[in-house]
A and B are shown apart, each in its own frame.
Chain A
Amino acid sequence: MSDLYEVAIIGSGPAGMSAAGQAAKRGMAHVLLEKTDHLSDTIYKYQAGKFVMATPSNLALRAGGYEEGVSAGMQFDEGTRENILGIWNQHCGVNDPTIPVVEGEIESWGVNVKLNAEVTKIEGDKGDFTITLKSGEVLKAKTIILAIGTQGNPNKLRCPGADHPMITSQLDDPADHYDKHITVVGTGDAGIENALGLAEPALGNTVTILNRGKDFAKAKQRNADWLTEADADGKLKIRYGTSPAEVRDGEMVLETETGEETIPCDLIIARIGSQPPRGFIESMGVEFTSADRSAFPVLSPVFETTKAGIFVIGALAGYPLIKHCMNQGFDVIEYLASGESPKPADEPLLEEVFADLPGNKSVDYWLDVYQKNVSIFGGLSTLQMRELMLDSTCKAFGPGEVIFRRNEQGSSLFAIASGSVAVEVDPNDPSITVPIGEGSIFGEVGLISGRRRGSTIRAAEDTIVVELSRKAALKLISSSPEANDAVTRISIERQILQMFGSGLTPADIAPLVESAETVQVPAGKVVIQEGDEDKDLFILRLGSMLVEKDIGGRQIFLSYLPAGSFFGEMAVIDGSKRTATVKASVKSEVIKLDGEMFNALLDTKPQLRSKMLEVMEGRRQTNDFIESQKGDVGGALELYTKTAKFLSEQGIGEATDALLIDEKLCIGCDNCERACADAHEGLSRLDREAGKSFAHLHVPTSCRHCEHPHCMADCPPNAIRRGADGEVSINAETCIGCGNCKSFCPYGVIRMDPVPPKKPSLLEWLFFGKGPGPGEASYSWRKKNGDPDLAKKAIKCDMCAGIDGGPACVRACPTGAAIRVSPDKFLTFAKITEDVE
């Protein structure tokens, strides 16, 4: 058994590496344990040459500032992957032949690094932890700092030979492999993308992809389509109902439905998911904030977990940006060494957040006010509060000032720290208002449904609020069960009030709210079946629904329901059987209300009843009209149904504003693409030809501005926002080019490119032939004239935000082929069957 270390740091990413460097400087007995044979695996795995960003730019790097004169500290600034890793290697005295040595004076801190040291078990308590490595080696430490990131461990094949060297879970560049027999295991997106890349005919590989089942439920529809197409074209082979049975030198045994089969094999790509590190961490006795998959460990203000002596920092603590990671490594060591934590590095950032509030108070003062007054913040730790406020905006409003307006796009959540607001519930009469008081929240409907604000809200007195960005709000809901319950309850009540209009008070609907149930509905699932006799009323809280009816033996599309509508009212009110089928067009959430109770409410509110009857009548008329088309020659009804189905399969159902091209009008001039490029720094955000078509209606590869943008799922600097006009756009300043959004968008509309060089003007081109002319310049021209040091960043359609007149692609189409539509307006009989020519 070895000596007892003061601190063992596990994981050598920016967080762990910075902690180890600081420990070394402080002369603490330390060890840095790294699983792989190089430092900082997450960054090591970035694409070669990737330009790494140092955001947020206004956050000081702690590690670099410690004790002037003692040292310059651990370095980190924006630069290429190679440069950053090269510097860190020198800091830590690691010699990695795959990373070039960086010239210049770089200090080595004498960090005690142990590579190839995967920690598999941690036992014991503060002051005496026992760390077991995969090799069986055992170490002892008083304190543990966990900085293992969120990558987790890739799952292994479950068959003999699972440790064979030809198996890998990582594919950097498909072009590294040619003329090989390659088997890809796993049909999620990663596996499919790898298989397609390897099957590029130019590489000459023989690619087989194993699918345990018959479908591709885990992959995006697009990827699944491409894969089956590639199979049909003979580019690769999909083996259904097949799983690996054994891996041997140069071959692989497959278990098929008809028995075992052996195929030649030189490389196996296993993309069967990874095991998140949570289980490993919980096994040490560390608690998480909630059962939600995206929850983080519960931490004290000094990053200590619920298990005394174990600290968690970095991405695993919920801070994915490198600068935050490095600062935390520094802070934790300082705390351990001095017993006192340095003023948090994010203090200046928080000062900025609170800068607009009156009274010139300190950060701690405001944190305290918000935490005490706002009920949904009740369950949060100080650290969580700080993190939450970093992504938020705090503001004071005077009486009568507008906080947001009806029909404005907004998906953020507001909470009132002091004062109160007035909600203008009636669009026609602003004097009718409903108050919301101190401590409560508002804006939750926009957050949940992704739709526009339903009413204008003004401050009723001097009021101080906080606006949580969508990301911060969702993080709060997923990590705090109390906040989740509160938001759900309030949103159900408000949604019912908003939907069924004035004249109702919270007291009237209290029993209804009490009995309400939120139900998740996966895409395609039927909520109401035509002919059934159930009697519930539904409010669509999130997502969208398709209404269909059996007419003459065929399922005919009746209409599209956006979030915020209710359905099922006919059966409730007149007691009839369900007259149509309602099913989810995308993943949705509905609030189920008890029909009986609702009827009882109607009995006491004749005004409400007449309003419901009105809505019902309107819907009935639409249905009757569509039904009356069934004798129509030319099959308009059929066309309508099929087109609506096609469009909703292409994601128009979750779109707020999507580009369509009517190929009966498109002359293929690509003026739309050129206009887009010219309106946006010279890169087009749409690919007209790519994408699917039906009945000459083409859905090009271009952003749909989804109600709940998938691309926002995991953007480390939170650079993707929904803007005032509903556009989902990426902030080029803060984007770090990690490519997460690109892989999350199911429609493949995000591209990664550096800003191209400026082109000579149109007149110079017209008269002197200077430059590449209108539209996106060729790749070679950009490369030749561009700045090679510019980072690749994510770019996508921003709906031409800030450009007066709106979308350039639409305005630039000479024939009217290019249109941008929203599903609630376009998925109607009149629009789809319109004769445009």
Chain B
Amino acid sequence: MASVPGNRFKQDERRRNADHVSFLKHRRYRWLWIAVLLCLATGLGYALIDQEPRPNGGSWYGYTLGTIGLGLIVWLSLLGIRKRKITAGNWSLKAWTSAHVYLGLALIVVGTLHTGFQIGWNVHTLAYFLMLLVIISGIYGVIVYATLPTTLSNNRNEMTRGEMLEALTAIDRQLESAAQPLGRQQSDLVIRALEQDVFYGGAWGRLTGTYPGCATNRALGGFPEVAGGVDGASERVRSLLVKRAEQLAQIRRQLRIRALLEIWLFIHIPATIALLAALFAHVVSVFYYW
């Protein structure tokens, strides 16, 4: 009953007052500005500071850039942990992502300046290109994050994944009974359509949305649209097959958009791990053999 003023009211009010803005715009592009400043500062330093004998990672300025770059990369990698470890505290993943994206982009400048434009066939260059690979995949990620959610939402049309599958099961049950009076050939077509795994098509089909072996489409081919709809049973099956095809299409579109939203992480994350390993080799070799 007695009251401590230490409740979360102020914090909650702040949250309720603000907070409806994307990670890109977070805090009026705070991290974009910081990243731009970082690029300008390092670029300016590169141009103004007289590096002996020539600009490269071995000069004191090169070491500075290298340290900044390494620090950034390690910090950027920690997003993978942050995302999965929801500890208490006044932080948000949105802010982290915002900073991640802009500081990650700044690495193009910091890292490139660090090389002093010296490219060769060695572990140092490997690290550099791995970094670029991670960044380029990241850029793809940001583009899909910004453009695909609306499509995902439109396609979903208030249905959950479970509901989409249920709807398909319901159609299938109707198909099963509707197909009873059909002849051998036609009912085989229906059976094959019903037997095919909903998720058939593999990764390629999922990403491209092409399913050449789709048994439902093939079955539809076996039920020509008859003008006037002569045969009751086959007409009914046909319309159910159309429904099934539509439902499948929704599920497949959903799979495709989700795949496009996730596929890049299959490069971004392994390349990050490879990058960390390469960086380790890079740093060790610099200190031992340079």
Chain A interface (Cβ within 8 Å of chain B)?
A: 201-202, 204, 233, 235, 393, 395, 397, 401-405, 407-409, 412, 467, 657, 662-669, 671, 674-675, 678-679, 687, 689-693, 696, 698, 724-726, 762, 774, 803-808, 810-817, 819-822, 825-826, 831, 834, 836-837
Contact = CB atoms under 8 A, between A and B. Distances in A.
Contact of B153 (A204, A657, A664, A678): A664
B231 interface: no
B1 A805 contact: no
The listed residue with most A CB atoms (<10 A of its CB), out of B3, B11, B90, B258, is B3
A696 B152 CA distance: 10
A405 B3 contact: yes
B284 interface: no
B8 A666 contact: no
Contact of A814 (B9, B17, B21, B93): B93
B15 A836 contact: no
Contacts of A803: 88
A173 to B, nearest CB: 19
A805 B88 contact: yes
B97 A815 contact: yes
Contacts of A815: 22-23, 94, 97, 145, 149
B54 interface: no
A583 B169 CA distance: 44
Nearest to A689: B160
Contacts of B261: 667-669
Nearest to A695: B153
A831 B158 CA distance: 23
A834 B161 CA distance: 29
B23 A814 contact: yes
B3 A404 contact: yes
A664 B150 contact: yes
Contacts of B146: 837
B149 A663 contact: yes
A822 B21 CA distance: 16
Contacts of A692: 158
Contacts of B7: 408-409, 724-725
Interface string B134-161: 0000000000011011101100101011
Contact of B21 (A233, A404, A821, A836): A836
Interface in B80-114: 81, 83-86, 88-94, 96-97
Given A664-B150, A810-B15, A836-B20, A804 B86 contact: no
Interface residues of B, number: 52
B2 A402 contact: yes
Contact of B8 (A395, A806, A836): A806
Contacts of B8: 724-725, 804, 806
- Per CB-CB distance, the 9 closest pairs between chain A and chain B, nearest first, are A663-B153, A689-B160, A675-B86, A804-B88, A816-B94, A814-B97, A724-B7, A811-B92, A774-B84
Contacts of B81: 762
Given A201-B170, A407-B9, A812-B93, A657 B2 contact: no
Contacts of B161: 689
19 contacts: A201-B169, A201-B173, A202-B169, A204-B173, A235-B170, A402-B3, A407-B9, A412-B1, A664-B149, A665-B149, A666-B149, A692-B158, A693-B153, A724-B7, A804-B89, A806-B11, A806-B15, A810-B15, A834-B20
B207 to A, nearest CB: 16
A662 B23 CA distance: 12
Given A725-B8, A774-B84, A806-B11, A666 B152 contact: yes
A744 B158 CA distance: 24
A393 B2 CA distance: 11
Contacts of B15: 806-807, 810, 820
Interface string B49-89: 00000000000000000000000000000000101111011
A721 to B, nearest CB: 12
Interface of B: 1-3, 5, 7-9, 11-12, 15-17, 19-26, 81, 83-86, 88-94, 96-97, 145-146, 148-150, 152-153, 156, 158, 160-161, 166-167, 169-170, 173, 258, 261
B149 A401 contact: no
A821 B22 contact: no
Given A393-B1, A668-B149, 11 more contacts: A201-B169, A233-B167, A233-B170, A668-B261, A689-B161, A725-B7, A806-B15, A808-B86, A819-B19, A821-B16, A836-B21
A614 to B, nearest CB: 22
A132 B85 CA distance: 67
Nearest to A804: B88
A682 B145 CA distance: 28
A403 B2 contact: yes
A671 B156 contact: no
Contacts of A671: 83, 93
A395 B2 contact: yes
A665 B8 CA distance: 27
A665 B22 contact: yes
A666 B153 contact: yes
B229 to A, nearest CB: 19
B16 A820 contact: yes
A816 B152 contact: no
B16 to A, nearest CB: 5
B166 to A, nearest CB: 8
Contact of B86 (A235, A397, A725, A812): A812
Given A698-B153, A725-B8, A395 B1 contact: yes
A409 B160 CA distance: 35
B258 A668 contact: yes
Given A668-B152, A816-B23, A837-B146, A678 B86 contact: yes
B149 A825 contact: no
Given A408-B3, A836-B25, A837-B24, A693 B93 contact: no
Contacts of B160: 687, 689-690
A203 to B, nearest CB: 11
B196 to A, nearest CB: 20
Given A467-B1, A657-B16, A725-B7, A805 B173 contact: no
A405 B5 contact: yes
Given A668-B261, A689-B160, A817 B1 contact: no
A826 B16 CA distance: 8
A412 B2 CA distance: 12
A657 B169 contact: no
Contacts of A668: 149, 152, 258, 261
A404 B158 CA distance: 43
A397 B3 CA distance: 12
A401 B2 CA distance: 9
Nearest to B152: A668
Contacts of A831: 20
Given A407-B9, A725-B8, A815-B97, A693 B3 contact: no
A409 B3 CA distance: 10
Contact of A725 (B9, B84, B91, B166): B9
Given A235-B170, A668-B152, A813 B89 contact: no
A837 B25 contact: yes
A569 B17 CA distance: 27
Contacts of A821: 16, 20
Contacts of A665: 22-23, 149
Contacts of A233: 167, 170
Contacts of A812: 83, 86, 92-93
A669 B15 CA distance: 22
Contacts of B156: 689
